[in-house]
Structure 1
């Protein structure tokens, strides 16, 4: 998930808010969460709530594995390691070389201090991790901890050492932050990755929010939804990139764990080779409170197509990166209309499946939206947080 994704909060509050239930979960499109969704509270600066080590050493060598920081020269073997991990932990979702590169070049990351890789005696990568402070700190202070251990080398203590290193480096990051905000170490884990979930629990993480992956067979009929006559439907173009970012930030400001997306981060997303402007649709209109003003983007459905996902899923697919509607324009069925048009564009492109992720806890009625659009639940993942 990107830097505006699930976060953390005061441990008890956030854990209760995100706990899964035995009933059928409600789901919500990104950017359509209910008012008042929050990630916790804080009454002191983050740095006063964290005790950080003065120095963070590489993990202890074990089972012939030594540790060092990553460099951009490591992209190919790191990508191969991610593929081996993914084949077990999320077998129907690929992880492209470009995504791995994006991880290592995120804004503000210092690979010499924020990354680690475990190398065996044959020079093969067997474990890796990042501990990276997000530069956007509006509603929370978030240190992203991503990584994993080669399935062939699990059970040897590598994962525990990796998590210990990530915690120590993450606490160093948090100890520099003056914001009076919730704070924590944050990552995502697949529901079926039981060993990983257990390791996070032992390391002090709580499963605070659940996300459902939905899929739509594009061979099934698509029901059109009439577009509100107050808006125009357009395909995303370069001159609408910034307007779409502004719409995204408005749409997502009441979404759980969301923070504004910066121009830099947005530019990295739309410049990616997998992002498809031609399959991304926007609704544009003049502001409701200022009919004489220029048009703005009021709703959007953005698409990403990564052929590396196709082999894992078994069919050509598109990922619906974002669905959002500006707050002032909700209740006009714009998301439904744009989504139907987007699915038709996917079909015309020769794609066979559409995939998207939704919040499994926010009760806004979006389950009906996706059910009517033909999406079905495929798998779940959790945001896990070690809160401070």
Structure 2
């Protein structure tokens, strides 16, 4: 349809560059420090949890994308099916009602996918955004969303890192490889079994989100129990070159870190962090970052603070129980 010379249609895989351009224009004003290449946005457009035809919408002014929304559903869910509503509006087109239209379309699309995949469960629609984006809180509150959880981005300089970190007795460290990728996933799923909003991931979801083109295998590690050979914990590090091109800082971002319940209390996570810090520094990274659930046991007063990480940007997980 056409409204005020704008064209509205579902996203397609061919929109990768237009999506990257829009996200970068948004960041230039919002100042979050998250930049994208077309390869990055294509990864999101081919996400197995996305259904672009049923649950996405893009707004164009001529050939320029000026707004979008898309839904990411979960293949596995238990009591509540939490879907993620992503989207945004170009700064030059804000305060014109586009955001309201996109959020309302996203809520309707979320219900469509929910009815298709998990009709017997409760539905929760989440929006995950950095705090302080102008007008966002008012927009979401006006549509019935409320803050459900807070997350903290933490950072640490790699100018001085632990020398020759050790591995606790009875454990061994392995770097990521294609042959151990499924062991990493198994460790992640077991470690996150009791974590809020983090159901088990299928292999295709895992590879799309975590072990994709941004993976840094040299700073990603698996810890095994030497007696049983079973995974005890894992840490996955990713890097986005587009961020470094703008900021001038090569950042190694910890996308996933977890210890399986049976191995907690043995220093697994501490060892993984120490080895990742050392490896990232040795491969030319200048900073390590991560996002942590502020309500979780590993918050700002936990192992990350002890490892030298300090709080930076806070993120809000807005939720609508639909």
Structure 1 unpaired stretches of 5+: 1-57
Q: TM-score, normalised by structure 1?
A: 0.78
- Structure 2: unaligned runs, 5 residues or longer: none
Distance 2:70 2:12 in 1: 12
Partner Cα separation in structure 2 for residue 103 and residue 209 of structure 1: 23
**Deviations along 1:119-169, whole A, 9 cap, x unmatched?**
11x332111111343222234212321110001110111111111111222
Please say if residues 184 and 386 of structure 1, whose CA atoms lie closer than 8 Å, have aligned partners that are also in contact: yes
| Partner of residue 25, structure 2 | 84
SS of 2:82's partner is strand
What residue is the counterpart of 1:217 in the other structure?
A: 157
Contact 1:76 1:97 in 2 (8 A): yes
Higher RCO (CA-CA < 8 Å; seq separation 6+): 1
Distance in 1 (CA, whole Å) between partners of 2:79 and 2:263 is 24
For residue 326 of structure 1, the aligned residue among 242, 245, 260 is 260
Q: How does 1:54-73 map to 2 (within 5 A)?
A: 61-62=3-4, 64-73=5-14
| Partners of 1:225 and 1:337 within 8 A in 2 | yes
Name the CA shift for 1:112/1:157 in 2 (closer, same or farther; >3 Å).
Answer: same
Are positions 1:346 and 2:277 aligned together? no
Instruction: Name the TM-score, length of structure 2 as normaliser.
Output: 0.93
> Are the structure 2 counterparts of residues 185 and 139 from structure 1 closer, same or farther at C-alpha, using a change threshold of 3 Å?
same
**8 Å Cα contact 2:50-2:70 kept in structure 1:** no
Shift in alpha-carbon separation, 1:366–1:297, aligned structure 2, 3 A: farther
1:279 aligns with 2:279: no
Counterpart contact for 2:154–2:289, Cα < 8 Å: yes
Structure 1 residue 222: Cα displacement? 2.9
Distance 2:238 2:26 in 1: 22
Output the CA distance in 1 between the equivalents of 2:202 and 2:208: 10
Cα root mean square deviation, aligned: 2.1
How many Å separate the matches in 2 of 1:108 and 1:362? 25
CA distance, structure 2, for counterparts of residue 312 and residue 201 of structure 1 = 33
1:263 paired with 2:207, answer no
Change (3 A) 1:96 1:197: farther
- Report the equivalent of 2:87: 147
CA distance in 2, matches of 1:374, 1:77: 38
